[in-house]
Amino acid sequence: MKTKGLIDIAELTADELDDLMTVAEDIIANPADYAEACHGKKIATLFYEPSTRTRLSFESAMLELGGSVLGFSSASSASVSKGESVADTARTVECFADVIAMRHPKEGAPLVAQMHVNIPVINAGDGGHNHPTQTLADLLTIKRELGRLDNLVIGCCGDLKFGRTVHSLVTAMSRYPGVRFIFISPDELRVPEHVRTEVLDRNGIPYEETTSLEEAMSKLDVLYMTRVQKERFFNEADYLRLKDSYILTPDKLKTAKPEMRVLHPLPRVNEISVDVDEDPRAAYFRQVKNGKFMRMALILKVLGISVKGGNVK
Amino acid sequence: MIIGSLVDGIVIDHIPAGRGMELYKYLRLDELDCEVAIIKNAASSKLGKKDIIKIGAPMDLNFEILGFIDPRITVDIIEGGKRARKFHPALPETIIGILHCKNPRCITSVEQELPQVFRLTDKEHVVYRCMYCDNKAKN
Ligand SMILES: [Zn+2]
């Protein structure tokens, strides 16, 4: 059996997701038990495009497990600027590290790396395609904030057409019973047809689509915000007309349930007003922290390290 | 000429009109030494017009791509002047080295030596997606 990392969130079963969350919650409760778990192990963070937040999260995850880190943070600093293939770079790094976390602007690059090495490769974001560890952060946040992953009404707001984090969240949440989605976006940025047919319809997940955040607000258990980027619009006038409709403000939150939670993959620009940050429903900074714990749990899993005996599959 | 009567060979029938030449390329029929005929715009009761390819020798061909182009395509195996077998090509789980990913953001667009692999993700609607980027192949 070839060693496997994580390329696409769809590779994980609901049981495996639950196991990862169990380990992450145990790490949160008993960090000292894990402080030496990866002693002598190295993670290579191969970042062909800068993403400081994600890279630091992987690196601090490994450091907190007692391991060490090496890597590069942009393509210009690496031999890749001399035109080396992803496969060759991965094979070289395999000689130095025990696990790779790869960020690449081209879709499928981490899969190419995984096909050529016998150490696990974790996709840390491949263009607009997949970003499975973000989804792990999202799931743990929902679980910790609301106490469950089933029977939830999840609102996804903003750019649902290009927003890969939304597509992955929909894929992952479609495994849990009683989940319903409300997609809130301008017509131009609706959830793509393939997500509706191949994920939602295939799994019989109920959903509705609306252009109004205010209308959906009171029904939601989770509000997953994403950024509406100017360059996604055909013309400036449409962008100006629509942009404020998808900005979350304390005013718009007034009708939300008290136990509702706001998530955002970050970085935000202006789609959540800073006045919302102090609201207890704003969970996006706690989400960042959860991301690190899930990356710790994932590193343990792909390295086959079990701290509490058994259970790591 | 094999257009009239084929003794031993293969007839690929009910090809959507205008797609015959494309199949000729996918099946690499240009590499064959035997007679090959492409009939364009033949009258068809089912399709109105269709293309037909006749190959004047028995051989093993990889027919997997045919079902992706159109599941109505049929293959007749002719032996001794008679039809020995007729079938609709099945949909393969993967198509390797035939289709090319057209997504400019796909890793295969910059690393062209990578094998082109497409997976069947939706049998009912005959959807194949690039293994690397999940882009849908157009049929
Ligand atoms: Zn592709």
- Closest Cα to residue A180, out of A137, A136, A220? A220
Contact A111 B132 (CB under 8 A): yes
Per-residue model confidence (pLDDT) at position A42: 98
CATH 3.30.70.140 assigned to B9-87: yes
Strands A153-157 and A222-225: parallel
Judge contact between A45 and A101, C-beta under 8 A. yes
Q: Whole-number mean pLDDT of chain B?
A: 90
Q: What is the dihedral of CA A190, B123, B104, B16, to 10 degrees?
A: -110
CB contacts, 8 Å: B131 with chain A: 108, 111
pLDDT (tens digit, 9 = 90+) per residue, B82-114? Answer: 999 999 988 889 999 989 999 999 999 999 999
**How does residue A227 score in pLDDT terms, banded at 50, 70 and 90?**
confident
Q: How many CB atoms lie within 10 A of CB A22?
A: 13
What is A9-129+291-303's CATH number?
3.40.50.1370
pLDDT bracket for residue A182 (50, 70, 90): very high
For residue A243, is pLDDT > 80? Answer: no
Residue in chain B nearest A127 by alpha carbon: B105
Q: Are A179 and A295 in contact (CB under 8 A)?
A: no
Q: State whether residue A112 sits within 8 Å of chain B by CB.
A: yes
How does the average pLDDT of chain A come out, rounded? 93
The percentage of chain A sitting over the pLDDT mark of 70, rounded to a whole number, equals 96
pLDDT digits (tens, 9 = 90+) for B108-130: 999 999 999 999 998 888 899 99
Look at residues A148, A147, A144 and name the one whose alpha carbon lies nearest to residue A173: A148
CATH 3.40.50.1370 region(s) of chain A? 9-129+291-303, 133-282
- pLDDT tens, position by position, B50-81: 999 999 998 888 888 898 888 889 999 999 98
Q: How close is the Cα of B23 to the center of ligand 1, in Å?
A: 22
Chain B within 8 Å of A109 (Cβ-Cβ)? yes
Q: So what's the pLDDT on residue A77?
A: 65
pLDDT score recorded for residue B65: 84
Bigger pLDDT: A193 vs A302? A302
Q: Which of A108, A126, A194 sits opposite B136 (nearest CB)?
A: A194
The interface predicted TM-score (ipTM) is: 0.89
- A133-282 CATH, one of 1.10.3720.10, 3.40.50.300, 3.40.50.1370, 3.40.640.10: 3.40.50.1370
Confidence bin at A313 (pLDDT 50/70/90): very low
**Alpha-carbon span A253 to A229, nearest angstrom:** 22
Considering A170-184, A186-200, B35-49, the range whose residues carry the highest mean pLDDT is A170-184
The pTM of this model reads 0.89
The ranges assigned to domains in chain B are 9-87, 94-130
Please tell me the distance in Å from A219's CA to the nearest CA on chain B.
33
Task: Count CA atoms within 13 Å of residue A186 on its CB side.
Answer: 22
CA distance A99 to A102: 10
Res A1: pLDDT: 43
Ligand 1 centre to CA of A83 (Å) is: 20
Q: What is the pLDDT of residue A67?
A: 98
Whether the CB-CB separation of A123 and A130 falls below 8 Å is answered with yes
- Which two three-digit tokens encode residue A44? 């290579």
Query: What would the two tokens of residue A273 be?
Result: 């007003």
Name the strand (E) or helix (H) holding B74: strand B74-79
Tokens standing for residue A172: 């992952």
The answer to whether A107 contacts B114, with C-beta atoms less than 8 Å apart, is no
